[in-house]
Structure 1
């Protein structure tokens, strides 16, 4: 298990809209842009092998990339290189962080100084949701999946641990980047589940503007 002392002060950051990583979850990524291939090569040379996922902020009419202040770092646990030089990787979520300063330099990709303070529980054990009403939640989820014409293994959902179920759905459901950010910043698993329920109910009421959800 990683301790706070093992966490680096500076990490490469990967701003990818809608891609959510959470502690103890896994995120598959396909890297093909030259700057992110360079990021991967450099990351593999470090002892921590960590990359910080972060949501870029919407800045209409502006060319520079602004980042949300809170992201989640993951450790590269699996990777394979294709014949044409692309990477298929898996990040294992370690801890959320707060960007304190973007680091300028000669790197083609973004780096940031980060603070891990306030996210100590991310390095602990699996969280429980003590007030989780699973049958009621799965009923709501079934309506949402039916509206979006999505399929899933319902037996697996019924048996999954609270954290795995809630975090996996938070990562996989097609919410917009700002909604994903709200799920990331939820201070506890219970709060994340409540946020997830709110977003699903909002979508079912037609909040996304898609008539099929009404």
Structure 2
């Protein structure tokens, strides 16, 4: 996968961004999201974004998994930090989460992809270089809960590689990987700081265990 140019984000993030509505997808600040792009409209969007100075794409969830659905008000913008073109024209991307945003108005545009004006107010801490920490994180209890959650669904799990990673990477990776419904993913995105995200994740896992059944999102892969 080719690497994009060095990280040179503008001092002020743009007020207008391209949107990639994707049901069940979760991108968080300072986390990474792999994407497989195959729809012509989104391939065209990526081509245009790659020529822009910031290379930003706004990941945002629709309220329903159907075409043209209304969007949630909060998403997360990601910067293309790696990409690879396949022989058949499809493309693999890696987005690095930069900052959450609040959608202020969706624009009427001639492009086949959606665009919006957004506000970055209230999310300044997302753009800090230093990762967040969680002083109250009980790793043993969290991994025990994860083992119960995955066992109840008959899913394989091996958390050995995650047991020593920094707090933020651990919570963000688990937020992305745990098979939770789209609404739960949105709740994790909207939590203000890492300790609240960890508390929300634990609550959602415990509630899913109490509820029983398979509450996973419909799609196992992030694709468009």
TM-score of the superposition, structure 2-length normalised? 0.87
Per the alignment, do residues 34 and 127 of structure 1 end up closer, same or farther by CA in structure 2, a change over 3 Å counting?
same
State the shift of 1:161 in Å.
0.9
Per the alignment, do residues 26 and 52 of structure 1 end up closer, same or farther by CA in structure 2, a change over 3 Å counting?
same
Quick check: 1:8 aligned with 2:14?
yes
C-alpha distance in 2, partners of 1:6/1:166? 28
Query: Of residues 45, 54, 60 in structure 2, which corresponds to 1:48?
Result: 54
How does 1:173-192 map onto structure 2 within 5 Å? 173-192=178-197
Question: Greater share of helix residues, 1 or 2?
Answer: 1
Query: What RMSD, in angstroms, separates the aligned Cα atoms of the two structures?
Result: 1.9
C-alpha distance in 1, partners of 2:99/2:156? 30
User: Is contact 1:99-1:112 (8 Å) kept?
Assistant: yes
Q: Tell me the alpha carbon deviations over residues 84-104 of structure 1, each in whole angstroms, 9 at most, x when there is no partner.
A: 111100000000000111111
Query: Of residues 127, 148, 152 in structure 1, which corresponds to 2:153?
Result: 148
State the shift of 1:3 in Å.
6.7
C-alpha distance in 2, partners of 1:153/1:6? 41
State the shift of 1:210 in Å.
3.7
User: Is contact 1:23-1:95 (8 Å) kept?
Assistant: yes
Structure 2 stretches lacking a partner, 5+ long:
1-6, 216-224
Q: 1:75 aligns to what?
A: 79
User: Is contact 1:54-1:71 (8 Å) kept?
Assistant: yes
Q: Tell me the alpha carbon deviations over residues 147-194 of structure 1, each in whole angstroms, 9 at most, x when there is no partner.
A: 223334422221011111100111111111111100000011011011
Q: 1:106 aligns to what?
A: 110
C-alpha distance in 2, partners of 1:4/1:47? 8
State the shift of 1:4 in Å.
7.3
Per the alignment, do residues 4 and 133 of structure 1 end up closer, same or farther by CA in structure 2, a change over 3 Å counting?
farther
Per the alignment, do residues 67 and 137 of structure 1 end up closer, same or farther by CA in structure 2, a change over 3 Å counting?
same
C-alpha distance in 2, partners of 1:76/1:108? 20
Q: 1:31 aligns to what?
A: 37
Classify the secondary structure of the residue corresponding to 2:82: strand
State the shift of 1:63 in Å.
6.0
Classify the secondary structure of the residue corresponding to 1:17: coil
C-alpha distance in 2, partners of 1:92/1:80? 15
C-alpha distance in 2, partners of 1:31/1:63? 16
State the shift of 1:206 in Å.
2.4
Quick check: 1:168 aligned with 2:173?
yes
Quick check: 1:17 aligned with 2:40?
no
User: Is contact 1:78-1:90 (8 Å) kept?
Assistant: yes
User: Is contact 1:36-1:109 (8 Å) kept?
Assistant: yes
- Runs of 4+ residues deviating >3 angstroms: 1-4
